[in-house]
Structure 1
Amino acid sequence: MSSSTWAAEASLRRSYNPFRLLARWLGNVPIADPVDRRNAPMTQVLLLIFCIGTPLLSIPRWVMLMHGVMPIDYLIEGITLVSTLVPLTSLVLLRRGRFKLAIGLFLAMSLALMGLSYGLTGLDEELHVQVTHVFPIVLGGLLLNRRALWLILLALLGILGLGAAVDIMHDASGSHGPHIVTFLRSGIGFAVVAVILDRAVSALRETLSLANRRGEELQHMRHALEQEIIEKERSQSMLVQSQKIEAVGRVSSGLAHDFNNILGVIMGYASRPDAIDKHKVAVDSLDGIKLAAQRGALAVRRILSLGRIEQNASEVFNIHAAIEDMLPLIQQIFGKRIELRAQISEQALLVRLNRVEFELALLNIATNARDAMPDGGVFSLKTDARDGQVVLTLADNGTGMAAETLDRLFEPFYTTKPNYLGSGIGLAVVKRFVDEAAGHIEVTSEPGHGTTLNLVLPLANEAQQLVAPASVLGLNLLLVEDDETLRTLLADALRSAGAHVLAAGNRQDAIRLAQRAETLDLLISDFHLPDGTGGDVLEQVGKLHPKMRFLLISTNETLKTTFSAAHPAIQVLAKPFAPLKLVATVASMAGIKPT
């Protein structure tokens, strides 16, 4: 048998599957309301059960009637006939799209039969099957509406009252109390079911209605937005898409390459077996891990800073000290095949720059120099002061650059390296940093003769002074950070510096701690929290402690502009950072001088 013949026969078998045919028949009803249309198949099954089940259950009785075993009871036979014809009529109405009328007729029959039964036997005789009498309430509440639900409840209470009256009339002792208690107990039970069902169904229908309206609105909005985008960007969509793909590919490959190296360094230092027994080896390993982490943080900043407008975080610092701090990290980038020569004077040269961006510039230039010396070489670094400026000279004896490459050196995403080595954004970041610092870059390079970059930066004027190391001794702080490990690390650093720290992992815990605290000098909060944002914490805790200052922790430093108008005391500290950086920032905000 060929595969096509087998597939055709399988399709034929599926098309004649009785269950599939029944499901298709049940779902094919002309009902407009989506909720009623969804309930129609199961309702039809219920009506079919009554139409077929009632005559089937009557067969044994009819057999006995035919053999004269028992006399005919016209009341029972009438009830059987009604219990068959009314569901059948309801089914026909439902198949014609009269859903509400079909359910109403079926429920009216059920209540009438229940009233007849209670009127004949009384309330006490019906208690053992009373749980089934909740059925009309459930069916009316789910399939009809609130009005029908409460009307059915009233009808049931009337039927219960009828049954209780019958019991009282047939009670020879004349005691009415037990029958009234039974009536009240049954009525309250039915009422509780009705209230619960009413609340649940109302909430469900409201939610469904709201979701449907919202879905329609979103559908219209999406369609309008799609049309707008198509009209506005049709002429250049292919060009923009190709540029995005190229940029993402370059950035991701370069970043993946950098982080693979960083993770390799960290894993290598962390798994050194001799670090357990040798103190110096352990200290060296920790230093190596710290440098690798700094390198990873700078790599992330290199990506974020390219297209982000950050707040100016300039500070006055000694450029020689900053370079000295970066030399171990630069040497780690070079490895053993490149010699690092640094001529750093002991004389302090003060500059007012964004220190993080300055360190990032050094890292980017060093990385490019390394890639330009694949077989090893020499990288030299020296500084010189002239005419109120500091000239930082960085030179390598690598492959150099041709004129056409030199012309596009600072163009974002331009690179001559393989995709797995470069993203083309490093020197663009350097150029932006130098321009924002009111400086300029001088570049000389020739193929085969290496490259020299002179970063010319302004010195700090006499009015600008270095800020002395600060202390947070005695400050009352509230720290909110959802990452438990980072929260513990930062809290320990602040406590070691002399601060009193309350630590919370989410917005609600922070508010509870703030309510119990007598005074808070400063609130430190991550912007992204599990149950809100740092802005939410600021708004609620600020009402409890109006004189408190606020430090927001986030990768997005532009958040300061969002809150600065309403809260002038707010500051933003960009992640990632060392705990000592947090301590210094907190002390600076509080205006505490060293003791």
Structure 2
Amino acid sequence: MSDLPSSPSAEGVRPRAGWLWRAPVADPVDRRNAPMLQVVLLILGSLPPLMWAYRIALSGIPWRAEETASLIMSLAVSAFALFGVVLIRRGRFQWAIRQTLALIAIVMILSHALDGSSRQGYEQPLAIVWMVLAGLMIGRRALWLMYACVLAAFVAGGVVDAGRGNPIDTPMNVTISVVIGGVIYLLIAIVIDRSVRALRESLADATRRGDALAAANRRLEAEMAERERVQQQLVHAQKVEAVGRLASGVAHDFNHLLSLILGYAEKGRRLDDAGEAKKALAGVEAAARRATAVTQRLLTFGRRDAARVERFDLVEALRDLQPMLRQLFAPGVRIAFDLPEAPVPIEFDRAQLDLVVLSIASNANDAMPDGGRFEVTLRAGDDGAPVALTLRDSGHGIDEQVRARLFEAFFTTKPAGRGTGLGLSVAQDLVAAAGGRIEVDSEPGRGAAFRVVLPALERRLADA
């Protein structure tokens, strides 16, 4: 594997079209290097055979015996290069680069040992390419190992050159040439090593930052999911609390309905006239339907359902809520509704709207222990103006300190065991999630008015 660091955050390589980019390489860094290496290997695998074919068939120069070894080594390198392309196409990137560089190092040393360094003038600059590939695609150890092979080739070639008896290639000149070449390639190796190390450190730093951002994103997603789960639990808990407050009113209504049913049944039992008995049974059926409507309304309201935004008429929803409000308030509280005749369409979760209204009404009921008046007023502006639902009570009012913390979670002024401090907090969150707000106008001794402002349906659709 490459010494360059990899991580899941680096997997997001932008997909590119083309055959070279579709190599099934797992490591992200190797996958980025695969196209370039394939190009190099394809050139190395195809160009030398073509050049040797020209030398043999078209050059017209007599064949020399020493060229046979060069031909064999050159064709071996080309064969291994093409085999390296096959390995990359099978996802074996590191195998491809390592076996290719190993063969090139062996061939380079043998070429210098057989022909000397003086005859390798054209091939020597290629050693820089192999050092760069070793450093970038394998690591620092491979870079310095390739440099050692280059130095060994220079030494072997120098020995051959010095043994030929050429007056120019004296042992001193050859030694100086080997030293100079070794120093030059040493400087090149140092530059490559420092550059690769800087690149590796930059990549590692970017990878760490990417991992940190990915971890932070996962934590944020988990926190958002947990917040949503807790919000649903709070909403359900407030529904249960509201249903509990409605229980006494429901019991009173059921006693009344049962009395009607028993009265109609008794009347029907005593009547001989079939027509009158039929009317009595109709009264029984009507009372039973009212009882069924009450229970169904409570069951629908108290269900643990996920938020379901829907389009509905707010006027109709408030009218349907009137029986539950009357069950919620004490007998001494009068309830007044001021609703427009025209429909007021909004988009909201209907059960959550009931919860918002009942939460505010529950606090209003507690603020009027000796009775009072609760008003529900709905105003819809023109041309997409916000919808304003005002819930006003004639209770003891709210002072400035309490009003500042009114929507704070778990804050309550009620005695222990009589309130969770979550009703208004949950109501505000639900309204805010729908793009609205709750405004409070209250002073001690002058009652309280909660103004629920919701976006009009036309504005919500225009914004979308």
TM-score normalised according to structure 1 size: 0.34
Q: Per chain length, whose mean CA-contact separation is higher, i.e. which structure has more relative contact order (CA < 8 Å, sep 6+)?
A: 2
TM-score normalised according to structure 2 size: 0.43
